[in-house]
Amino acid sequence: MTDHVRSLWIGAVACGWAVAGGLAVVPAWADQAVSAPISSQSSSAGAAGEFITVNGVRRPAGHSADTSALLSHALGFSSYAAGGVSALPVLNGMADDRVATFVDGMRIASACPNHMNPAMSYIDPDSVASAIATAGITSVSQGGDSTGGTVSVERRDPQFAKAGALLVTGRLRGDYRSNGGGSGASGSVTVANDLLSLRYTGSYSHASDYHAGGDGPRVRSTSYLSFNHAVTLGVHKDNHLLALTVGQQDIPYEGFPNQYMDMTNNRSTFVNGKYKGDFDWGTLEARGFWQRVDHVMDMMSDKGGHTASTGMPMNTDARTAGYAIKTTIPLGRRHELGLGSSFDHNGLNDWWPPLAGSMMMGPNTYHNVNNGYRDRLGHYIEWKAQWLPRLSTELGMRSDLVMMNTGPVAPYSWTGMMSMADIMAARRFNAASRGRTDTNFDVTALVRWHPLDSLMIEGGYARKTRSPNLYERYAWGRGAMASSMIGWFGDGNGYVGNLDLTPEIANTASMTITWHDPRDQAWLVKIQPYYTYTHRYINVMRIGALSNGLSQLQFVNHDAQSYGINGSAFARLWRSDAFGTGEVQANLNWVRGQDLVTHSGLYHQMPTNGTIALHEIYENWTGRVEVTLVKAKDTVDWLRHEPRTPGYALLELGGSYRWRNLTLDASIDNVLDQKYDLPLGGLSLGDYKATGVLGALPGLGRSYNLSLTATF
């Protein structure tokens, strides 16, 4: 193992300890930008841009357009299928809004009743400098209003030249994927001196519908097209860094195979400012951000298409703005105090224009969320203490004030008999008091003990609180069609909100045991058991049936529990001049969740799964063989008609070669073209629309992937 890779391995292990079993994914080309002090940033461009570090194993950057795929090997992490760039995160069985997801410090809520534009869909994978998934116990400084954990994704800090020099550096990358004819291109260029830095990044990604394994059919509604652009201006002076990023994303279309609708346009414009400074008294980091999202849904050709008189137009307009301030103050040699404040405003309008000539969808506009808002004001205090050289503690407290409201709503018609269920629901909703204010309180307590150089034991408790999102409280429609348009679960059911929902409170106890080679970093074993009891877990109850045999469900508070164990291991098998370095990595995740009222399994719980990967590094060549193993999904949420899926094993082969500033990477996904269904994929509604057969969403068949990266 090279010295550079060894240093990254140690950094990954240290980060894993520091975040209670979370896992950091750090591209090697971003190592200095992420970890070096501000005052000592280097002008080195770095030539190893094709690698990210995951638990000490050099892993080539993926060929997926979905940023969440970067975290596929994190402890307790899984994702459930949505669009090609919009998978939703799951940590220890807690999904989507239960995971606090930050992109460059921005907490971005999905501006869509189907959550087609989650936070990680707004940054392309090639722009990511670091991604950290923290499952289980999270520090209060890592955000509130969440119960499952935290995902933090960051772009690179600006690069600067040495004093008196001019830096011009950049990188270009092109991708091809055979299954679905996927293609992509991305690049960045930086021009900087020692004071100012200007960087442009851009990306393009496209794919048609993919084919299922086993020489299976085309999986409908899986095509997409995406563009990203961002410009970053940086100012660096002594121990201070100021960065301002302005960007725009356009997704002209994106199919969603497990939804009744597709995304027919999504445009996001954002401004994000960041300041970091070192002072004699401590450090200060401040962020401010603003984002506008214009989002349109309708039906693409796989679901019948749309015209002025067909389909079903649905529009969303969202505004996000906020700030976050964090400061760290050393209190002597053994103690450290962290203080922070943040505010997030999320404003939302969701309306469905009438369809010409339709008696059901007209003659007026359906107002689903009218001038709704969800504001969160949070503050925290965190105390870290090093009592003994091998014993430290962390204690944090956080309060979040969540304020929500929405204006009066309207159905398509106030008189039509076909709209009667929605008419009655709208009248009740408009007559009700809709404003809600939740006062939430979180606590985290951790103890870290290092009894041996080779052994680290960390354990603790966290009380985490999450308030309902806007749709869980304010989705008022009771008609079968209206409720079917609500739901980010991919299950085909219809969902109705509940004004009486209260925040859910998760109590988690967890322990992480890390045993490693302290001398040569030749092996590592990590085990993380956990248990969570959630008071007033936001789940569902059945209130009606849909014509296709699925259900109409309403959000309600139930008590629930989940428990499981995550594990990972790493070992260096050989290291010699003749054969290079061989490494093996394995991980295993098991979770079980249960609603304590209905005794149903919790939805979107990944069955037991793991990976075994063998990597060889020889001079400029890196090869890999990886096997993914997934057990049959037998424990399901019967209320949502969650499908059972058989177990499967997938084989992946790949390798890369670096020559000067060029890197060529080739891989084969699902080498044996295994036919399988995605355990968290929900129902294949795109195929159901065309064939009338309702089944689980099939996984990707064999795909040949190729990428070429150039740095300068």
Predicted confidence (pLDDT) per residue in 624-670, tens digit: 999 999 999 999 999 999 999 999 999 999 999 999 999 999 999 99
Asked if residue 363 has a cis previous peptide bond (ω within 30° of 0), the answer is yes
Q: Cβ distance 140 to 442 under 8 Å? A: yes
* Phi, then psi, of 168 in degrees rounded to 5: -130, 115
Question: At a CB cut-off of 8 Å and minimum separation 6, what does 678 contact?
Answer: 80, 81, 645, 696, 697, 698, 699
pLDDT in tens, 548-560: 999 999 999 999 9
CATH code matching the domain that covers 48-516+535-556+680-711, chosen among 2.40.170, 2.60.120, 2.20.28, 3.30.9: 2.40.170
Give residue 215's pLDDT: 86
563 HSE (CA, 13 A, CB side): 6
DSSP state of 493: -
User: Nearest to residue 176, comparing CAs of 670, 710, 668, 676?
Assistant: 668
Query: What's the rounded Cα separation, in Å, for the pair 328 and 338?
Result: 5
Is the Cβ–Cβ distance between 465 and 145 less than 8 Å?
yes
580 three-class SS: strand
Length of the chain: 712
C-alpha to C-alpha distance for 468 and 459, rounded to whole angstroms: 29
Give the integer Cα–Cα distance in Å for 509 and 323.
Answer: 31
Task: State the Cα–Cα distance between residues 68 and 170, nearest whole angstrom.
Answer: 24
Mean pLDDT, the chain, rounded, equals 91
CA distance 500 to 492: 24
The share of the chain scoring above pLDDT 90, in percent, equals: 87
Kindly report the number of other CB atoms within 10 A of residue 382's CB atom. Answer: 21
Q: How far apart are CA 701 and CA 712, in angstroms?
A: 36
- The predicted pLDDT at position 81 comes to 87
Enumerate the domain spans of the chain. Answer: 48-516+535-556+680-711
Please give the structure tokens belonging to residue 57: 């194993």
Positions of the chain with pLDDT under 70: 1-62
Contact assessment for residue 385 and residue 392, using Cβ atoms and an 8 Å cutoff: yes
What's the pLDDT at 136? Answer: 79
Continuous segment of H or E residues that includes residue 700: none
Cα torsion 145, 512, 615, 51: sign: positive
pLDDT at 62: 60
Whole-angstrom CA distances from 644 to 98, 552, 602, 604, 647 are 24, 20, 13, 11, 10
The answer to whether 491 touches 483, Cβ cutoff 8 Å, is: no
Sheet of 149-155: strands edge to edge?
Answer: 57-60, 51-54, 23-27, 128-135, 149-155, 99-103, 106-107
Compute the distance between CA of residue 63 and CA of residue 205 in angstroms, rounded to an integer: 10
